[in-house]
Structures are given as structure tokens and as C-alpha cells.
Amino acid sequence: MASCDFGPGPDRFLAEVLSGLRKPQKELPSKYFYDEHGSHLFARITELEEYYIPRVEASIMQAHIGDIAGLIGPQALVIEFGSGNCEKVRFLLDHLYDPVAYVPIDIAREQLLPVAEQFASEYPGLEVCPVCADYLSRFDIPNPERAARRVCIYFPGSTIGNFDPLPARRFLEHAAAVCGQAGALLIGVDLKKDPAVLHSAYNDEAGITAAFDLNILERINRELECDFHPHRFQHYAFYNPRESRVELHLISDRNQEVHVGGETIYFAEGESIWTESSYKYNLEEFARLATTAGFKVEQVWTDERRWFSVQYLTPR
């Protein structure tokens, strides 16, 4: 099993952390949640009763997998951006006819390589080509040994919601270029719903989401030799109806200073670090976004409550 490594190194990590912390509204790139421990915590989040997304998305996939596999067709090259533990793609691959290869792309090197190796042993007839990379950057997609009839990008879990509108459009434009005119994008898109449901999903009673949020400070301390005190920050998540997004913040509980890469970063009591957004769409809004990025929405499947959608897009 060959692998490619385009992952960001410590210099880029430090530069992006400092860039975010220098802003008037301090922020950190959410992609850095996913070190080994962060990936483990996120896997636990997906099992929580409050976090409806994996459960509802899986029910949609199970109900419509025949139609989905038929649209993708035989001998597909499946590329998954943000593959994580590669669990979601199993159901899709199990129902495709003769897929030629699977390319999992993830920034968390510690998780990606052993998971991809295990995946390759469980699917001996499938070429597995893991790529460690920030999937928003530009890098080469490996060419499989067998020619593919279609490139299908799989982007589940409503990760598209983590992008602000302009980066979301740019990501979709990049996806359209990767899959090509004959390709397709199978994407999960979270839909607007009762804010109380959203509040519970990002403020679980067990505190797993809070631990996941705070872990980014632990990672910065460990890998960049900084001196955050995570216990001096509190996880805070809320739905912003004007922007149609859930926002995750870490709130400083006192006046304090932190040293990052030789710089001193000052925090006032109550000041926050914005760590993640999760945008929610209605179907018309997402169709407009897809159209501006060069896609056509071919098919949409939702659950009965219309909490979530799985959408099949093709380049226009």
C-alpha cells in the first residue's frame, strides 16, 4: 500500500495558529482538532445520542444505497476528503460494483496510515492509496493501477458546513476540478432545524464535545511548546440564526497571557477563541452554492424530518 504525505509541518501549524490569535476575534483553524486524541474524541462524539448527524445520515444511506450505487456506477475511483476512521465509506464501497480504488485523504497522519493499512487488508481486491494532506490545499491525487470509469468524491458528515461561504464555494470548485466532467460528488449537508436540537448536539451532557474543543489547546502546547492552561478556558457553543451556523468558542475565564512562538497573546476575561463553525442550509440555499461552484444537484435524499440530506452532484 503506497501512501503520499502532504501534511502541514510544525512551521505551518505555528504560522496558522499565530495568524488566528492575532485577529481581533481570535480564532484557531478547526482542522487542527484532529491529532490522535482529537480524532478519538470525535469518534466518541459521533456515538452520542445528542449528535444526530451520523445516525440520520446513515439511515438515509441505508434507505437509498441502491439508487446511490446505481448513479455512481461500476469501476469508480472513490476519493474521501476528511476520511477520519474510514467507517462511513465502508457501506458505500460494499454496495458499489467493482470499485477500482479508494483514496482516503486526512490531515491526521497518526490515524490515517494504520486505518488505511487495516482497510486494505479487509478489502484485498481494492487498491487503497492514503494521502496525508490538508484537503483544502493543492496536491496530487494518486493514479490507481486500473483505469476508473468515474471519479466519485465522497464528503459525508456535513463537513461542508465547517466552511464559511467563500471557502465553501472554493472547496466545491476544487472538488469539481478533481472529479472532472464525468465525475460526481456525494455529499452530506446538514439542514436547518429547531435551534434546541442544535444546542443539544454541540453541548452534550457527557462533555465530550467540550473535551474535543479544549484538546486543540493541549495539542498546541505539546507540538508548539506553548503554555496554554486549558482549564482556564470554557467550551461554549451556540446557534447564530443570522448567519445560520453553530459557533464553537473557548472562553477565557480570567485575564491572562499565553506565549506562542515567542509572542505573548493577551486574553481579557470573557474573551473567546473561535474554534469552529457549522453552517446549516435549506435545500435551495445549498443548490445555489453548488451552482456557483460549477455543480448541478442531480439528486437529493432526506430523512422524514428533513434534518439532513445526502446529495449527488455532477459538474455542470
Q: Does residue 290 fall inside a structural domain?
A: yes
Provide the pLDDT confidence category of residue 260 given band limits of 50, 70 and 90: very high
Provide the pLDDT confidence category of residue 10 given band limits of 50, 70 and 90: confident
Query: Quick one: pLDDT at residue 316?
Result: 87
Q: Which domain holds residue 78?
A: 53-193+280-315
Query: Quick one: pLDDT at residue 63?
Result: 98
24 grid coordinates: 481581533
Q: Does residue 61 fall inside a structural domain?
A: yes
The CATH number assigned to the domain holding 96 equals 3.40.50.150
Query: Quick one: pLDDT at residue 15?
Result: 96
Residue 5 has pLDDT above 90, yes or no: no
Number of H helices, E strands in the chain: 9, 14
Q: Per-residue pLDDT tens for 21-63?
A: 999 999 999 999 989 899 899 999 999 999 999 999 999 999 9
> What percent of the chain is modeled with pLDDT above 70?
97
Q: Per-residue pLDDT tens for 107-138?
A: 888 888 898 999 899 999 899 999 988 877 77
Domain count within the chain: 1
Return the ∠ at Cα 290 (arms to 288 and 292), rounded to 5°: 70
Q: Does residue 102 fall inside a structural domain?
A: yes
Mean pLDDT of the chain: 94
> What pTM value is reported for the model?
0.93
- Comparing 3-12, 256-265, 268-277, 305-314, the range with the smallest average pLDDT is 3-12
Q: How many CA atoms lie within 13 A of 153 on its CB side?
A: 28
Query: Quick one: pLDDT at residue 2?
Result: 57
Query: Quick one: pLDDT at residue 264?
Result: 97
Contact 139, 174 (CB under 8 A): no
At a CB cut-off of 8 Å and minimum separation 6, what does 70 contact? Answer: none
284 grid coordinates: 435551495
Q: Does residue 185 fall inside a structural domain?
A: yes
Q: Per-residue pLDDT tens for 163-186?
A: 999 999 999 999 999 999 999 999
Provide the pLDDT confidence category of residue 1 given band limits of 50, 70 and 90: low
Q: Per-residue pLDDT tens for 221-242?
A: 999 999 999 999 999 999 999 9
Q: Does residue 301 fall inside a structural domain?
A: yes
Query: Quick one: pLDDT at residue 239?
Result: 97
Contact 227, 263 (CB under 8 A): no
- Comparing 6-20, 50-64, 197-211, 213-227, the range with the smallest average pLDDT is 6-20
Query: Quick one: pLDDT at residue 137?
Result: 77
Contact 79, 99 (CB under 8 A): no
Q: Per-residue pLDDT tens for 131-162?
A: 988 877 777 888 899 999 999 999 999 999 99
Residue 92 has pLDDT above 80, yes or no: yes
Query: Quick one: pLDDT at residue 4?
Result: 67
CA distance 86 to 216: 22
Sequential DSSP letters for 227-273 = ---GGGEEEEEEEETTTTEEEEEEEESS-EEEEETTEEEEE-TT-EE
Residue 278 has pLDDT above 90, yes or no: yes
Q: Does residue 76 fall inside a structural domain?
A: yes
3-state helix/strand/coil string of 163-188: CCHHHHHHHHHHHHHHHCCCCEEEEE
Q: Does residue 90 fall inside a structural domain?
A: yes
Query: Quick one: pLDDT at residue 134?
Result: 83
Q: Does residue 274 fall inside a structural domain?
A: no
Residue 101 has pLDDT above 70, yes or no: yes
> Distance of alpha carbon 201 from its chain centroid, rounded?
16
